[in-house]
């Protein structure tokens, strides 16, 4: 199943939802007013829209997500790499590292991910 599209302002909403779920819609409205400056009608519209797209469910005024933060992030990265870098992961990494300092700890963490991927997928 493909992860539903979540746009930028919806993603900020989802960050609040993921942190507090399950949450009553009224409480979510209050949090969105505090953290995003949204009016109640805006929050209810986003809840309805994301519900229709299968991102969340709102049952008996309790809102819970149907997709995880990591699923949405992975989908967004996949889309960006495909659209911007013609699907090339090396081109993405080169662009990312060109103007950003990466610590030794981050390099080690990425290397561990690559090593784990190779072990799990039998690529040597």
Mean pLDDT estimate for the chain: 94
Is the predicted pLDDT of residue 122 greater than 80, yes or no?
A: no
Q: List pLDDT tens digits, range 77-100.
A: 999 999 999 999 999 999 988 988
**What pLDDT is stored for residue 99 in this prediction?**
86
Q: Residue with structure tokens 């949450």?
A: 23
Which among 64, 88, 68, 67 is positioned nearest to 78, based on CA atoms? 88
Cα-based angle 2, 5, 8 (whole degrees, multiple of 5)? 150
Q: Where are the alpha helices (DSSP H) in the chain?
A: 8-20, 25-36, 40-52, 69-85, 89-98, 104-121
Per-residue pLDDT tens digits for 53-78: 999 999 999 999 999 999 999 999 99
Task: Evaluate whether 55 touches 65 at the Cβ level (below 8 Å).
Answer: yes
* pTM: predicted TM-score of the whole model, two decimal places: 0.80
Q: What is the pLDDT of residue 123?
A: 62
């Amino acid at each position: 199943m493909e992860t539903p599209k979540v746009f930028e302002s919806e993603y900020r909403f989802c960050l609040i939802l993921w942190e507090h779920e399950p949450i009553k819609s009224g409480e979510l409205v209050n949090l969105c007013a505090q953290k995003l400056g949204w009016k109640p009608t805006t929050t209810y519209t986003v809840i309805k829209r994301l519900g229709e797209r299968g991102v969340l469910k709102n049952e008996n005024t309790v809102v819970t997500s149907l997709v995880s933060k990591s699923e949405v992030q992975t989908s967004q990265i996949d889309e960006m790499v495909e659209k911007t870098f013609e699907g090339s992961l090396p081109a993405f990494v080169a662009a990312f590292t060109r103007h950003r300092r990466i610590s030794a700890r981050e390099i080690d963490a990425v290397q561990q991910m690559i090593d784990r991927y190779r072990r799990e997928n039998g690529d040597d």
